[in-house]
Chain A
Amino acid sequence: MSVRADVISQILQIRGNTKKESPPLTDDLVLVDSGLDSLAIAILVTRLEDTLGFDPFAEFDDASPPVTLGDFIQCYENAVKLSAVDSRPTV
């Protein structure tokens, strides 16, 4: 499963537990309007940490927080790319 698919799947799961009506998950969707409150976003980050093995927001203190869903997914994709670079053989 791609990082994007992981993020979307977790959001759907978390939103599925609430009875609120939720907008479609597009890249330009503003996170705070996505039907996820700050607690739900925290839970999302924790679940993704369990699935992917990292929390990009814990590791980059100075990064500006993601505003849209696209930004959010980008944070995860960037972290995956970085870790791929880090783990290249040095010889």
Chain B
Amino acid sequence: MPSNCLPSIRDQLCKASDSSGRFLWSAAASVSLGDLLRGSSLGGRLPGLLGRSVLLATQDQLAAALALVELDGVAARLIICPPDLPAEHLHSVMARGGVDAVVSDQGLGGPLCVTCSLTITPVKSEQVERRLTEWVLLTSGTTGGSKMLIHDLRSLTAAIDGLNLETDVVWGTFYDIRRFGGLQILLRALLGRGSLVLSSAAESVGDHLLRLGALGATHISGTPSHWRRVLMSPQARAIAPRYIRLSGEIADQAILNSLHSFYPQAAIAHAFASTEAGLGFEVNDGLEGFPASMVSARGKVAIKIEDNSLRIRSARTALRYVDGEDQALADKEGFVDTGDIVELRGDRYYFLGRRNGVINVGGLKVYPEEVEGVINRHPAVQMSMVRSRRNSITGSLVSADVVLKGEPDLSSANNQIADLKREILQICRESLAAHKVPASIRCVSVLELAAAGKLARHRA
């Protein structure tokens, strides 16, 4: 293992002089970064984890964050279990990752099990030889199990390096920090002199917003689906962010406009990021898609479009798959294929959807996200999900589930909903090819989100 030329998270935190006033907050507890630097959440058992391949599997998100700070630069490899990893996959993840130690707050068995907790015990500072830890992240793949991707602190933080670092930033995120999107925010908070308000799976959207508001969150991050739920909450006014960040799904113009009008004081950015490709780029002009000029432009991130899919090469992409796995991560030129299909219209590229999410209507492709983007333009629509519906004639047709803003007036609910459906279809017909227009629209009260905060698409 090469010696580390990049200071570990802990070393970087120690260098910053202001850590005592900085916190990590969960729904139930908080820890001051200053206390963490003077002690350990691992009961002083960190030296035993030196050079090991450590599985971090906690129930509590804050416990995971504390352990990550301690283990970076000490463990040879750090495998971060997402909260929704099915129990039956755990053994395979451990075997594939070559795990020889487990850090957990739930008494998991295993080769060497170290308990982590929210209690910081004072420890004497020991000089340990630092190393560049491999961070292994699992993708939120819904079929065929998760992929395990290796990053290191350099790839994870290359986008943070060089940013203007404000000192009074309180980050909030709707993500879980054990996935790529949330981990990016944890690292921004830690290395960018901020604090962080963590999410909690058990907490309602309204309570989370109240907590974010009470703790003065200034920078808040989530998927477009997370943000649509925020705007549906009566507590949406509890927060007053200066910066809103969307990633993980396509940010369509409707959600960008809604957020801008609801939080006019906030700068709004949508970022393209994935576990494989790392943080690709951010778009700050308030418009969906991204300027075509970004493709082929010289910079830290190179972008190319091949077979209509977005490909990215940068120092921020994952290094490789854990076990060599089935396929190469990058092509010969080092570009990672994101699997996101884009279309050039005028001087801008627009995201159409995921290559593997395509609906086949009589041999013609439909990307659900493209249709959702059009449906969401209707002012009464809060969010929508387009799915395939089996049909005896064409095989599949496009069908849409729609969540409306507010409750329809009960006295005329049926007529009102029928009118709304007609209007939505009219917008679709004006903007989409006939095979992309939903054959049916259902009004539903809620759309399920998967653990990663994206719409739960149950693909066949």
Does B362 contact A50, Cβ atoms closer than 8 Å?
no
- Pick the contact of B392 from A39, A45, A47 — CB < 8 Å? A45
Does B440 contact A39, Cβ atoms closer than 8 Å?
no
- Pick the contact of A45 from B393, B434, B435 — CB < 8 Å? B393
Mask: chain A, 49-72; 1 = CB below 8 Å from B; 0 = not: 010000101100000000000000
Q: Which residue of B lies closest to A60 (CB)?
A: B392
**A45 to B391, alpha carbons, bound, how many Å?**
8
**A58 to B394, alpha carbons, bound, how many Å?**
11
Say how far A21's CB is from chain B's closest CB, in angstroms. 17
Instruction: Name the interface residues of A1-60: CB closer than 8 Å to any CB of B.
Output: 17, 38-39, 41-43, 45-47, 50, 55, 57-58
Does A46 contact B440, Cβ atoms closer than 8 Å?
yes
Interface of B is mostly: mixed
Instruction: Name the interface residues of B358-412: CB closer than 8 Å to any CB of A.
Output: 361-362, 389-394, 397, 399
- A42 neighbours in B (Cβ, 8 Å): 362, 391, 393-394, 397, 439
Q: Which residue of A lies closest to B390 (CB)?
A: A58
Say how far A2's CB is from chain B's closest CB, in angstroms. 21
Say how far A40's CB is from chain B's closest CB, in angstroms. 8
- B393 neighbours in A (Cβ, 8 Å): 38, 41-42, 45, 57
B429 located at the interface, meaning its Cβ lies under 8 Å from any Cβ of chain A in the complex: yes
Given contacts A43-B439, A46-B440, A50-B440, contact A38 B394 (CB under 8 A): yes
Does B429 contact A47, Cβ atoms closer than 8 Å?
no
Does A43 contact B392, Cβ atoms closer than 8 Å?
no
Does A46 contact B397, Cβ atoms closer than 8 Å?
yes
26 A/B residue pairs, CB under 8 Å, sorted by A: A17-B425, A17-B429, A38-B362, A38-B393, A38-B394, A39-B394, A39-B434, A39-B435, A41-B393, A42-B362, A42-B391, A42-B394, A42-B397, A42-B439, A43-B397, A43-B439, A45-B391, A45-B392, A45-B393, A46-B389, A46-B391, A46-B397, A46-B399, A46-B439, A47-B440, A58-B390
Say how far A34's CB is from chain B's closest CB, in angstroms. 14
Given contacts A38-B362, A39-B361, contact A55 B392 (CB under 8 A): yes
- A50 neighbours in B (Cβ, 8 Å): 440
Say how far B237's CB is from chain A's closest CB, in angstroms. 38
Say how far B13's CB is from chain A's closest CB, in angstroms. 57
Say how far B166's CB is from chain A's closest CB, in angstroms. 53
Q: Which residue of B lies closest to A58 (CB)?
A: B392
Interface of A is mostly: helix
- B391 neighbours in A (Cβ, 8 Å): 42, 45-46, 55
Instruction: Name the interface residues of B424-460: CB closer than 8 Å to any CB of A.
Output: 425, 429, 434-435, 439-440
Q: Which residue of B lies closest to A45 (CB)?
A: B393
**A39 to B392, alpha carbons, bound, how many Å?**
11
- B390 neighbours in A (Cβ, 8 Å): 58
Say how far B120's CB is from chain A's closest CB, in angstroms. 58
Mask: chain B, 330-368; 1 = CB below 8 Å from A; 0 = not: 000000000000000000000000000000011000000
- B362 neighbours in A (Cβ, 8 Å): 38-39, 42
Q: Which residue of A lies closest to B364 (CB)?
A: A39
Say how far B407's CB is from chain A's closest CB, in angstroms. 22
- A17 neighbours in B (Cβ, 8 Å): 425, 429
**A89 to B276, alpha carbons, bound, how many Å?**
60
**A71 to B434, alpha carbons, bound, how many Å?**
26
- B434 neighbours in A (Cβ, 8 Å): 39
**A55 to B362, alpha carbons, bound, how many Å?**
18
Does A57 contact B392, Cβ atoms closer than 8 Å?
yes
**A46 to B399, alpha carbons, bound, how many Å?**
10
Say how far A53's CB is from chain B's closest CB, in angstroms. 13
- B389 neighbours in A (Cβ, 8 Å): 46
- A47 neighbours in B (Cβ, 8 Å): 439-440
Given A39-B362, A45-B393, 13 extra CB contacts under 8 A: A38-B362, A38-B394, A39-B361, A39-B394, A39-B434, A39-B435, A46-B389, A46-B399, A47-B439, A50-B440, A57-B392, A57-B393, A58-B392
Say how far B413's CB is from chain A's closest CB, in angstroms. 17
Say how far B438's CB is from chain A's closest CB, in angstroms. 9
Say how far B102's CB is from chain A's closest CB, in angstroms. 50
Instruction: Name the interface residues of B215-257: CB closer than 8 Å to any CB of A.
Output: none
Q: Which residue of B lies closest to A46 (CB)?
A: B439
- B394 neighbours in A (Cβ, 8 Å): 38-39, 42
- B435 neighbours in A (Cβ, 8 Å): 39
- B392 neighbours in A (Cβ, 8 Å): 45, 55, 57-58
Say how far A69's CB is from chain B's closest CB, in angstroms. 15
Say how far A67's CB is from chain B's closest CB, in angstroms. 14
**A89 to B425, alpha carbons, bound, how many Å?**
42
Q: Which residue of A lies closest to B391 (CB)?
A: A42
- A41 neighbours in B (Cβ, 8 Å): 393
